[in-house]
Amino acid sequence: MNLLVAQAQTIEAPEIDYGALAPMLIVLGAACISVLLEALLPKHQRWAVQLVLTLVTLVGATGALILYATSERPEQGVATLAGAIAVDSPSLFLWATLLVLGFGSVLLIADRSVEPGGAFVAQAAIRPGTVQDRAQATKTGMQTEVFPLTLFALGGMMTFVASNDLLTMFIALEVLSLPLYLLCGLARRRRLLSQEAAVKYFLLGAFASAFFLYGVALLYGYAGSVKLSAIATAAAGTDRSDTLLFAGFGLLVVGLLFKAAVGPFHAWTPDVYQGAPTPVTAFMAACTKVAAFGGILRVLTVAFENTQWEWRGVLYGVAVVSMVIGAILGLTQTDVKRMIAYSSVAHAGFLLIGTIALTPEGTNPGVSATMFYLLAYGFTTIAAFGIVSLVRNSDGEATHLSQWAGLAKRSPIVAGTFTFLLLALAGIPLTSGFIGKFVVFSAAIDAGLTPLVVIALVASAVAAFFYLRVIVLMYFSDPAPDGPTVTVPGAFTTIAITLGAVVTLVLGLWPTFVLDWAGTGTFLS
């Protein structure tokens, strides 16, 4: 008994660097408050209050981040919460990316003018085709749970990219995934597709989480710790079985690649992108990608750098497969959301090139390049989905490509903006997409991955075809007589699209500021 007391006394509360954690804590705290508001406020006040709370939270968290980033902080970063969270330069950059992209997505989510009542349904559990479902379709009510769900997902993503051990990473993975599964099922139109997307994403996501957890267990067996740095130390020189290490690594990476929608672990992407409400698709495409690749970067650089010669070949192959699948299957798509989904698979392949561009000296020029690419891609994607949500007919969004024919004649501004965004996705110079590709490819050539870069360039050229096809449709085809109309967007969607397009242009013309910032520091190891 005495012994137990004595032991209990030696356990000290871990030190918490509140300044460093503030952005994350603000988002997660606000998510909790948001849930309470949902329970306590009368229905008619919720939307306005929730929206203000969410936007203020994001701005406040960004403010806290800037305050911390500009203050005197250790250059290599700090590990806090007993080493569970590492706040280093890449963490800060990724947090900032997540917060600004989250801000854009929340603006799209908040819009209620494009679709009366917003893009979300009040009760997602009603079976499609039933009397209740038809009754619900005529109402414009909307549950405001999307806001706390979004905040939780965002908080989870921020934790994920800063996790310094695999168990924290797993919990963060679940915190970010569960709200996303729910959000996917909330589309107001085409309920069946939306529910299918949610179930598919949930089932496959659960499998991926299980893979991840299994990998964590094997790595724990190998290294005796779940800390990333401990795994690196163990892998640096032991006589322990490599089987555990590489089996664990393989399973872990499968889980991560699934979240990042890298081919061949991409099978959920087109269905989920298509079925989810478009603002949620934008949020997933932009922010989940940032979080997943942030996590991959940290795991590969911190825990598995020593063993890079063993696994690099495998990820090399995965990157090729992802680019080829994305580029070739993208050609066959007839739905604009599915097309962007396959484009995101191809982009995931490009991003993976950046994450494996480690040089033999151990420096990783790919880290800053990948982070820049993530930021650039996120803004372009949010704006692109913002525009997809505007082109509608009586059934909701007109996502079939044939319905986009001749759009430029009726809505030159919308078509012009979308063309610009597609050119950015294709990587044409003077857009951020080009600079992103350029930095990733030059990092890869530095790291001796020239053949991979050549494959990537050919894949870019193939992928350019399906972007061009949309431009051809919009500009050079005659409009269908019963074609969709372009809804005049409300203020929120307009701001989100403008923000995305302007950032795409500015980062294409003057990328120096962001590049410098992305290149300031390395991961804390």
Partner 1 sequence: MTWVLIALLVVPLVGALVVAFLRKDDTKAKLVALAFSLVELVLAVLLWAAYDPDGDRIQLAAGVDWIPAFGVRLSFGIDGIALVMIAVIALLIPLVIGAGWTEKLPAGRSQGGYLSLILIQEAVTVAVFAATDVFLFYVLFEVMLIPMYFLIGGYGGARRQYAAVKFFLYSFLGGLIMLASAIGAYAMASDELGKGTFDWATLVKVVSDADSTTQTWLFLGFFLAFAIKAPLVPFHTWLPDAAAEAPIGVTVIVVGILDKVGTFGMLRYLLPMFPTASKNLAPLVLVLAVAGVLYGSLLATGQRDMKRFLAYVSIAHFGFIALGIFAFTSQAGVGSVSYMLNHSISTGMLILVIGMVIARGGSSLISDYGGMSKVAPLLAGMLLLSGLTTLSLPGTNSFVSEFLVLIGSFPTQPVYTIIATVGMVLAALYVLWLYQRIMTGPLRGDALVGAAAGPGAVGDPEKKTAIGDLSKREIAVLAPLVVIVLALGFYPQPVLDVITPTVGATLTEVGVTDPVSVQEGK
Which positions touch partner 1 (CB under 8 A)? 409, 423, 426, 428-430, 434-435, 438, 441-442, 445-446, 450, 453-454, 457-458, 460-461, 464-465, 468-469, 472, 475-477, 510-512, 515-516, 519
Closer to partner 1 by CB, 203 or 509: give it: 509
Closer to partner 1 by CB, 468 or 505: give it: 468
Return the number of other C-beta atoms located less than 10 Å from residue 379's C-beta.
Answer: 28
Compute the least distance from the CB of residue 312 to partner 1, in Å. 19
Compute the least distance from the CB of residue 464 to partner 1, in Å. 6
> Which alpha helices (H) appear in 356-411, and where do they start and end?
365-388, 407-410
Compute the least distance from the CB of residue 503 to partner 1, in Å. 16
Give 94-154 as a DSSP string. Answer: HHHHHHHHHHHHHHHHH--TTTTT-SB-S-TTSPTTSHHHHHHHH-----TTHHHHHHHHH
Closer to partner 1 by CB, 24 or 425: give it: 425
Q: Tokens for 469, please give them.
A: 């096809």
Q: Facing residues of 80 across strands?
A: 85
Instruction: Tell me how far apart the alpha carbons of residues 496 and 382 are, in angstroms, rounded to a whole number.
Output: 7
Q: Tokens for 229, please give them.
A: 């740095």
How do strand 391-393 and strand 85-87 relate by DSSP bridges?
A: unpaired
Instruction: Tell me how far apart the alpha carbons of residues 316 and 354 are, in angstroms, rounded to a whole number.
Output: 11
Closer to partner 1 by CB, 171 or 430: give it: 430
Compute the least distance from the CB of residue 499 to partner 1, in Å. 22
Instruction: Tell me how far apart the alpha carbons of residues 69 and 63 are, in angstroms, rounded to a whole number.
Output: 10
Compute the least distance from the CB of residue 456 to partner 1, in Å. 9
Closer to partner 1 by CB, 233 or 442: give it: 442
What is the amino acid identity at position 108? Answer: L
Compute the least distance from the CB of residue 197 to partner 1, in Å. 32
* Structural contact between residues 304 and 249, judged by C-beta atoms closer than 8 angstroms: yes
Compute the least distance from the CB of residue 484 to partner 1, in Å. 19
Compute the least distance from the CB of residue 520 to partner 1, in Å. 12
Q: Is 88 left (phi over 0), alpha (psi -120 to 50) or beta?
A: beta
* Structural contact between residues 98 and 162, judged by C-beta atoms closer than 8 angstroms: no
Closer to partner 1 by CB, 441 or 523: give it: 441
Closer to partner 1 by CB, 207 or 476: give it: 476
Measuring CA to CA, which residue among 279, 378, 340, 286 is closest to residue 469? 340
Return the number of other C-beta atoms located less than 10 Å from residue 316's C-beta.
Answer: 17
Closer to partner 1 by CB, 42 or 360: give it: 360
